[in-house]
Amino acid sequence: MPSPPSSSVQDPAVPEFVVPDPAGEPGRAGRGRPGLSPSRANDFMQCPLLFRFRVIDKLPEPPSEAAARGTLVHSVLERLYDAPAADRSAAAARALLPGEWDRMRTAEPRYADLFTADADVAAWLAGAGDLIGTYFTLEDPTRLEPRERELFVETELDGGPLLRGVVDRLDVAPDGAMRVVDYKTGRSPRPGYEGSALFQMRFYALVLWRMRGEIPRMLQLVYLGDGQVLRHTPEEAELATTERRIRSIWAGIQATARTGDWRPRKSALCPWCAHQGICPAFGGTPPELQAGATELALGVNSQVSEASGVTAPSRSSG
Ligand code: SF4
């Protein structure tokens, strides 16, 4: 099977873990509350049933080599900037790969099932090394000093929803101008198909605007799969449009949650879906929703009695 499109080369468990973390995390207000990330918004637009599986059922997904490599490369690019500027060479970055891979496997035992032979691991790490090499053809990290890396961002729109995400890198110029940088280990979209990637970046720009009172000057997507960089200067009007779109998506999620009608939507991305075996569009049967799962995940009472499929009496029926 060919590599999945760039927008889907993300391990859903790391780092776009956004909705919701019941344990919360000190210093990150609202972390345990239902909210929306760009990835999960994209999930809902792609397929409501996929959104349900990920956000409400929280079904585990086996790691893929592509997603794990994406997580590994992100981790190395974050760690690279721990070193003094003069020491940020391609060789130094590649040298981080084995240690970061060990750290990933320790933190997430599910990665242990990815490979059975050492030779496969070596080839996979070499592929990650190639992506790192491409990175150095696109940016010179000895001349960059990121203000933030893996920055958790969060804001609440009036009347909801809570928006969250993790920005790979935030650069701030001496005049205060912000540049939001996101690394993609897949290939850049064809001209005219940048919408999904730009939605994610506009989402972050909107959140940063609300948090810091200023619109980022530049949104930059760095595609390591084919060595392309996509740059975009966001305007206030388009971020207002993005806000309306997010509200519309959230309204759609809430309406679907109330009815429990999480329909599959077949698309060209289905071959990379981990849940085809239980998808009605492919002859499968989804598990019953656990009682209270929708409210826990989304803060919305389902009108369908979960785990029974029976429509609950409306409040006004007395
Ligand atoms: S296989 Fe396709 S239609 Fe079915 S849940 Fe996955 S993405 Fe949705």
d(CA 48, CA 265): 7
Element (H, E) at 104: helix 90-107
Cite the beta strand spans of 26-161 per DSSP E: 148-156
Nearest atom of ligand 1 to the alpha carbon of 47: 8
| Ligand 1 centre distance from Cα of residue 133 (Å) | 35
pLDDT tens-place string over residues 137-150: 999 999 999 999 99
Tally DSSP H helices, then E strands, for the chain. Answer: 8, 7
Question: What fold characterizes domain 148-247?
Answer: Lambda Exonuclease; Chain A (3.90.320)
Q: Is residue 25 predicted with pLDDT exceeding 80?
A: no
Q: Is residue 16 predicted with pLDDT exceeding 80?
A: no
- Under DSSP, the state recorded for 114 is S
pTM of the model as a whole: 0.86
Q: Tell me the domain boundaries of the chain.
A: 148-247
270 lines ligand 1 (CB under 6 A): yes
221 lines ligand 1 (CB under 6 A): no
Residue located nearest, by CA, to atom 5 of ligand 1: 50
| Ligand 1 centre distance from Cα of residue 61 (Å) | 13
| Ligand 1 centre distance from Cα of residue 225 (Å) | 25
- Under DSSP, the state recorded for 36 is B
| Beta strand 304-305 pairing with 228-232 | unpaired
pLDDT tens-place string over residues 43-85: 999 999 999 999 999 999 988 999 999 999 999 999 999 999 9
